[in-house]
Structure 1
């Protein structure tokens, strides 16, 4: 796994009245009415998606767990 840092940016859509995410985590698409809901969903879903879509079997075999844990950076909207 070449990249262990992933960024999830939250954007507010005033027309729909929801927050949604833009991310470099393949398959992660979250929207909710509050920032807290978005962040809870991201923290629940992102680790499994990272393992499924960003790691290969060689990445997982023979490496200490500490080397596999990714950093997930949550960026809130500036105006929130």
Structure 2
């Protein structure tokens, strides 16, 4: 069965002055100066990375279309105002 739920959290690095990602999506590494930029990048690349890195060709060929749509739980940072 295809894993359908993934998580992404943004954390603030006070030294580098960027938001960075923590995620179970293989290949997702985001650093952004604003939370809006972070969110834009995440929405742009995360679904493609799920398909590329978490689904085999056999799963893509045999799965029902509704099983191919991942749920990405997005957690805005709580340690710095977004």
Do Structure 1 and Structure 2 share a fold, with TM-score over 0.5?
A: yes
Structure 1 residue ranges without an equivalent (≥5): none
Q: Distance in 2 between matches of 1:35 and 1:26?
A: 21
Structure 2 residue ranges without an equivalent (≥5): none
Counterpart in 2 of 1:38?
Answer: 38
By how many angstroms is 1:15 displaced? Answer: 0.9
- After TM superposition, the runs of 4+ consecutive aligned structure 1 residues lying more than 3 A away are none
Q: Distance in 1 between matches of 2:19 and 2:13?
A: 6
Tell me how many residue pairs correspond in the alignment: 80
RMSD: 1.2
By how many angstroms is 1:60 displaced? Answer: 0.8
Counterpart in 2 of 1:49?
Answer: 49
